[in-house]
Amino acid sequence: MTQSIAVADLCKQPPLQMQLVDVRSPSEFASGHIPGAVNIPMDQIESRIPDLCKDVPLVLVCQAGTRARMTADLLADRCSDKEIAVLEGGTDAWIKNGRPLVACVRTRWSLERQARCAAGLIVLAGFLLAIAFNPAWILLSATVGLGLTFAGLTDICPMGILLGKMPWNQKPHCDAVPKLDPAHDH
């Protein structure tokens, strides 16, 4: 059974005596995470187990605690000698307790939320177009239903992949050192 840790108890822990891992997507992590947390998305956790098997307890974090608990259950078999805890209520509880977040970018929706919204809008558009103009538009809604079924069965979401390539989901690119124009460098 995985332990839970309350926000108040986590704040009392010395930071170097635990490993804080946020299992949310990179865009969710960038929009706001607990100071000192590292991002290892839930879907990458199995390939990153060597990074987790340090000599300090592991505290898993997500938005509300659900994904962190699922990740803890996954790790329980592979890291049986490791102390694993889940932050009760996740970053939502952290915020409600007035604790600070580190934000790398402006708040964005997770890819999963973007895909659900896009799918819903396309299904609704297909339905309305079928009623208003031509019944053949219902095929648009059927295509989205087929795509969602495919995504559920294979864990490959073409809409999520497409949305992940959109400009608003890209990491900002900036140079750490400003480039100098050699023509003006004297």
Q: How many residues does the chain have?
A: 186
Q: Is the Cα dihedral 138, 141, 145, 151 positive or negative?
A: positive
* pLDDT for position 56: 81
Q: Between the ranges 42-46, 52-56, 95-99, 100-104, where is the mean pLDDT highest?
A: 95-99
Flag whether pLDDT at 127 surpasses 80.
yes
* pLDDT for position 105: 60
- Pairwise CA distance, residues 72 & 51, whole Å: 15
Residue 81: pLDDT band by 50, 70, 90 thresholds? confident
* pLDDT for position 177: 40
Residues 6+ apart with CB under 8 A from 142: 126
**Residue ranges per domain, the chain?**
3-96, 111-169
- The answer to whether the predicted template modeling score (pTM) of the entire model surpasses 0.95 is no
Tell me which of 155 and 72 has the higher pLDDT.
72
Backbone region of residue 96 per phi and psi (left: phi > 0; alpha: psi in -120 to 50; beta: other values): alpha
One-letter amino acid identity for 158? P
Flag whether pLDDT at 61 surpasses 90.
yes
Q: Is position 53 annotated as part of the catalytic site?
A: no
Q: Which fold has domain 3-96?
A: Oxidized Rhodanese; domain 1 (3.40.250)
CA 75 to chain CA centroid, Å, is 18
Flag whether pLDDT at 185 surpasses 50.
no
The H or E element spanning position 49 is: helix 49-52
Active-site option among 62, 79, 157, 174: 62
Mean per-residue pLDDT, 28-40: 86
Query: Which residue's structure tokens are 């840790």?
Result: 5
CB atoms within 10 A of CB 93: 19
Flag whether pLDDT at 33 surpasses 70.
yes
